[in-house]
Amino acid sequence: MSQNHAERQPAKRLFAAELNEADYHFKETDEDRAPNYLLLPSGDKANRVMMGGTLMSVEDVSNEGNDPFWKAVIQDRTGEFRAFAGKYSPEAASVLHGVKQDESMPPAYVIVIGKTREYRPEDDESEILINIQPETIAIVSEEQRNNFIKETAEHTINRLENETGEYVLQADERHGDRVSLLKNDVRESLGMLE
Amino acid sequence: MSNEQDTAQELAEKLYDDMDEGVLDVTVDELEAKFEQYIEYDVHPDSARSTIVRNLASEAGVEISEAMGGSTGSGGGSELVKIEDIDEPEVFVTVEVTVHDLWDDNDTDSISQVGIVNDDTGRIKFVSWEKSEVPILVEGQSYKLTSVATNEYKGRMSISLNSSTEVEMIDEEFEAPDNTKEFTGSFVHIYDGSGLIRRCPNDDCNRVLSGGDCTEHGDVDGVFDLRVRGVLDDGTDTQNVNFGCEITEALTGINLEEAKSMAQEALDTDVVGVEIAKVLLGNYFTVGGWVNDRDTLMVTEVDESTEVGEYSISELITKVDALEETTVNDESEAEEVTN
């Protein structure tokens, strides 16, 4: 593989509970363009994530006179997360703009693919929150949403079953017991599909 | 950078040794001055070298392969290599291959033949230059090609037959490796240039027009076509995929005629790509086809009814129930993470 065709990083499937527990980004090399990874509490790393759920609200949070900056709140069975899309995420921004103009939405089922970003809320700088900078937001059917839950449950279980490796050790050290952290969330999500 | 870079003088001497005597009118000192210039501008020595050779060859009106003769720099004849191992441009190699496919190329006078050859490790494009007067290759026949020059264009390797190439028929027949592939995953990204496109109408050209122009034939009356270039992702790997017109129509329910009227109505061809993105993104399917030399899966079959994942929901519930919560013990604490 030549350098200029760097492989696209896969999107790790996560439930909101896992994203909300995560709080640590890292790079593996010093190079400028080295990918940025989020340490997943289930014991893996993610440069890109794929998450799904119900779009609860869309709001333009830009200052007046600026390009719109959309804040989307998305909920799955395990929690809630936010995606922010402005001019640097034009495709996702145009989908959210479309939702804003469509009276039938929200709510809507969505799948979001993107990079993770961390920020510290102004009122509590000790806390690190992770949100999504989406590359893609797809409005999907209930069946697609259900497929996504099943796939995410399977991938999360696979990560939890894995007992060795660098990221398993790091996750254990940082987040404590991985299974107790996520077992109930995965079980409940699967329960929705029974 | 790990290994210390060669000096301009060393690079110049090496290149001078590698060049065929008397073809390019240049001295070692002149080469050294050119290298110095590039190195000063932070150009990597390898690209400096290939640029210098290319410029000199073009000034002298000769092919690079002629200027660089049959020498490999190590002094001897070129090494017998497998196609999969060809990864360095502007070196001389020897290959044993079967002619897989010959392309019609009526447009370029300087080329006598162009096509694909393969051995049992891979396929590679070859070009024979008219003025090199090398023998004409026959489809299906195998040859030992001694001293062909390697080239690289946009990350793709090719070989060229030149006046120093020896062509010898051999009996062995090489079967190209299987390049068919299946991939299952979610459609997560659509590339620009998807949707309603126009192609060059010239026979065997088919290039996608950009701003109404074909890079080969200039301003032409394009022929409309539908295609999708995108990415499937299974959470572990990603696969670039290409859907032609038929597959795109089947997956999106938008046919070429409808796409054209959509574009006409909106006075914009981009609306088709946007509509296709809406239909495809987030979908999960299994595709099959063949992989081209840019690692893109050219899809010929799609299964949309693919079951997601390996396990059923009840199996997954059994698995999650079986996960045991562990309490951290001394043993695991002893295994410290080394950074």
Q: What is the DSSP string of A83-135?
A: EEESTTSHHHHHHHHHHHH-TT-SSEEEEEEEEEEEE--TT-TT--EEEEEEE
pTM of the model: 0.74
| Residue B146 DSSP class | E
| pLDDT the model gives residue B112 | 83
Residue A132: CA count within 13 A, CB half-sphere? 31
**B158 and B256 belong to one structural domain:** no
| pLDDT the model gives residue B74 | 35
| pLDDT the model gives residue B327 | 58
Look at residue B95 and tell me if it is in a domain.
Answer: yes
| pLDDT the model gives residue B262 | 93
Look at residue B309 and tell me if it is in a domain.
Answer: no
Q: What is the pLDDT of residues A21-66, one digit of tens each?
A: 999 999 999 888 889 999 999 999 999 999 999 999 999 999 887 8
Burial of A108-146, coded b for 16+ CB within 10 Å and e otherwise, reads: bbbbbbbbbbeeeeeeeeeeebbbbbbbbbbbbeeebbb
- Chain B nearest-CA residue for A178: B325
Look at residue B334 and tell me if it is in a domain.
Answer: no
Using an 8 Å CB-CB cutoff, list chain B residues near A2: 155
**Cβ neighbours of residue A118 closer than 8 Å, sequence gap 6 or more:** A23, A25, A128, A129, A130, A131
**B126 and B187 belong to one structural domain:** no
State yes or no: pLDDT of A15 exceeds 70: yes
Report how far apart, in Å, the C-alpha atoms of B66 and of each of A41, A120, B159, B299, B317 are.
59, 63, 13, 40, 68
For residue A151, give the amino acid letter.
E
Q: Where do we find the tokens 């990918």?
A: A35
pLDDT band, very low/low/confident/very high, at A95 (cuts 50, 70, 90): very high
Containing structural domain, residue B111: 79-170
Report how far apart, in Å, the C-alpha atoms of B112 and of each of A57, B106, B158, B161 are.
63, 9, 15, 10
Q: Which residues pair with B133 in a beta bridge?
A: none
| pLDDT the model gives residue A5 | 45
Q: What is the pLDDT of residues A110-155, one digit of tens each?
A: 999 999 999 888 777 778 899 999 999 999 999 999 999 999 999 9
Rounded-to-integer distance, Cα B333 and Cα B339, Å: 15
**Cβ neighbours of residue B272 closer than 8 Å, sequence gap 6 or more:** B195, B196, B226, B254, B259, B262, B263
Using an 8 Å CB-CB cutoff, list chain B residues near A147: 284, 308
Residue ranges covered by each domain of chain A? 7-179
| pLDDT the model gives residue B5 | 62
| pLDDT the model gives residue B312 | 93
Architecture of the structural domain at A7-179 = Beta Barrel (2.40)
| pLDDT the model gives residue B108 | 67
**B244 and B288 belong to one structural domain:** yes
State yes or no: pLDDT of A1 exceeds 70: no
- Chain B nearest-CA residue for A179: B325
- Phi, psi for B147 (deg, rounded to 5): 65, 60
At A80, which helix (H) or strand (E)?
strand A79-85
| pLDDT the model gives residue B7 | 86
Q: Which of A4, A160, A193 sits opposite B323 (nearest CB)?
A: A160
Give the CATH number of the domain where residue B158 resides.
2.40.50.140
CB distance B281–A138 less than 8 Å? yes
Helix (H, G, I), strand (E, B) or coil at B126: strand
Look at residue B335 and tell me if it is in a domain.
Answer: no
Burial of B129-156, coded b for 16+ CB within 10 Å and e otherwise, reads: beebebeebeeeebbebbbbbbbeeeee
**B125 and B226 belong to one structural domain:** no
- Tens of pLDDT along chain B (339 residues) come to 334 567 889 889 888 887 777 677 888 999 999 989 888 888 788 778 888 888 888 787 776 766 775 443 333 457 899 998 998 888 889 999 999 988 876 566 777 888 999 999 989 999 988 877 889 999 999 999 998 999 887 778 899 998 888 999 999 999 988 889 999 999 999 999 999 999 988 877 788 888 888 888 888 888 999 999 999 999 999 999 999 999 999 999 999 999 999 999 998 888 999 999 999 999 999 999 999 878 899 999 999 888 899 999 999 999 999 998 875 554 444 444 444
Residue pair B256/B312 in contact (Cβ under 8 Å)? The answer is no
- Chain B nearest-CA residue for A111: B282
Interface contacts (A, B; CB < 8 Å): 109
User: Which of A91, A96, A135, A129 lies closest to A115 in space, CA to CA?
Assistant: A135
Interface of B with A in 159-218 (CB under 8 A): 186, 188-189
Using an 8 Å CB-CB cutoff, list chain A residues near B326: 177, 179
**B299 and B185 belong to one structural domain:** yes
| pLDDT the model gives residue B333 | 47
User: Which of B274, B125, B142 lies closest to B196 in space, CA to CA?
Assistant: B274
Chain A interface test: which of B186, B275, B311 (most A C-beta within 10 Å): B186
At A184, which helix (H) or strand (E)?
helix A178-191
**B235 and B282 belong to one structural domain:** yes
| pLDDT the model gives residue B66 | 67
Look at residue B103 and tell me if it is in a domain.
Answer: yes
Rounded-to-integer distance, Cα B224 and Cα B270, Å: 13
Look at residue B242 and tell me if it is in a domain.
Answer: yes
Asked, as a colleague might, if the bond just before A134 is cis with ω within 30 of 0, I would say: no
The per-residue DSSP string of B223-245 comes to: EEEEEEEEEEE-SS-EEEEEE-H
Residue pair B159/B86 in contact (Cβ under 8 Å)? The answer is yes
Number of structural domains chain B divides into:
3
| pLDDT the model gives residue B118 | 94
**B143 and B217 belong to one structural domain:** no
SS (H, E, C) B245-262: HHHHHHHHCCCHHHHHHH
**B251 and B283 belong to one structural domain:** yes
**B208 and B157 belong to one structural domain:** no
Q: Which of B231, B282, B308 sits opposite A111 (nearest CB)?
A: B282
**B254 and B159 belong to one structural domain:** no
At A166, which helix (H) or strand (E)?
helix A166-175
Work out the minimum CA distance from A183 to partner chain B, whole angstroms: 7
Look at residue B73 and tell me if it is in a domain.
Answer: no
| pLDDT the model gives residue B39 | 84
**B240 and B280 belong to one structural domain:** yes
| Residue B209 DSSP class | P
**B252 and B290 belong to one structural domain:** yes
Residue pair B226/B196 in contact (Cβ under 8 Å)? The answer is yes
In sign, the C-alpha dihedral spanning B263, B267, B268, B273 is negative
